[in-house]
């Protein structure tokens, strides 16, 4: 059974980021011939340590820290679609999102012995499908945040299939995107397109 993992980097419950991620996931499920399961994580609820750049490969372990983050490693490897969302703070992803991304460093652990001909080992053999959601202010400055998530997708062997930007104006309000029918339609379209892409390219390679 294929699976979706949805990662919300907003520090606010009920945020526009969370609403958009839920809408994308629902559209994938509703438009797919497959019975997807979905797991969602609000990163601000997790208690986990920051990456300390420990300088060695933890194999066969995923990390030296066994905290709230640790069980998610296997879910990132096993899932079929990854949805990642964040508000844009100081032109980048949130602190919660960046801390989460940094802890994925050892999903490509260093090859200090030179056994692979590369600096890093690729322990994730199967490519997955992914999309990102970014929520910002009126300026609509999304590029720096996009690069962070796109780089993370590349690192963990995910096809960066689509992105959705929402430039809100009601910055004092939580979840204003719920009233924006145009952006919600775009979100549903992204979900439908992800479902179609999965059927075309990934369904035969499910985890």
- Read off the CATH number of the domain in which 44 is found: 3.40.50.360
> In sequence order, which residues have a C-beta less than 8 Å from that of residue 166 and are 6 or more positions away?
16, 20, 133, 134, 135, 136, 177, 180, 183
Instruction: Give the alpha-carbon dihedral of 168, 172, 177, 178, to 10 degrees.
Output: -160
Owning domain of residue 181: 3-205
Segment 88-146, tens digit of pLDDT: 999 999 999 999 999 998 888 777 666 666 777 788 888 999 999 999 988 878 999 99
Tell whether the model's pLDDT for residue 171 goes beyond 80.
Answer: no
- Total domains present in the chain: 1
- Rounded to two decimals, the pTM is 0.92
Token reading at 57: 């490969």
- pLDDT at position 112, please? 66
């Amino acid at each position: 059974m294929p699976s979706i993992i949805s990662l919300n980097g907003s520090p606010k419950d009920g945020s526009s980021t969370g609403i958009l991620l839920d809408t994308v996931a629902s559209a994938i499920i509703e438009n797919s011939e497959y019975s997807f399961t979905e797991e969602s994580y609000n990163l601000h609820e997790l208690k986990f340590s920051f990456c300390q750049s420990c300088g060695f490969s933890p194999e066969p372990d995923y990390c030296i820290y066994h905290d709230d983050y640790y069980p998610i490693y296997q879910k990132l490897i096993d899932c079929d679609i990854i949805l990642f969302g964040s508000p844009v703070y100081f032109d980048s992803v949130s602190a919660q999102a960046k801390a989460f991304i940094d802890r994925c460093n050892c999903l490509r652990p260093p090859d200090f012995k030179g056994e692979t001909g590369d600096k890093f080992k690729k322990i994730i053999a199967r490519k997955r499908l992914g999309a990102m959601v970014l929520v910002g202010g009126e300026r609509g400055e999304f590029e720096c945040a996009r690069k962070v998530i796109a780089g993370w997708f590349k690192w963990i062997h995910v096809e960066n299939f689509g992105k959705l930007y929402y430039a809100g104006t009601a910055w004092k309000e939580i979840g204003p995107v719920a009233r924006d029918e145009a952006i919600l339609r775009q979100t549903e379209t992204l979900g439908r397109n992800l479902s179609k892409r999965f059927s075309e390219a990934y369904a035969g390679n499910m985890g």
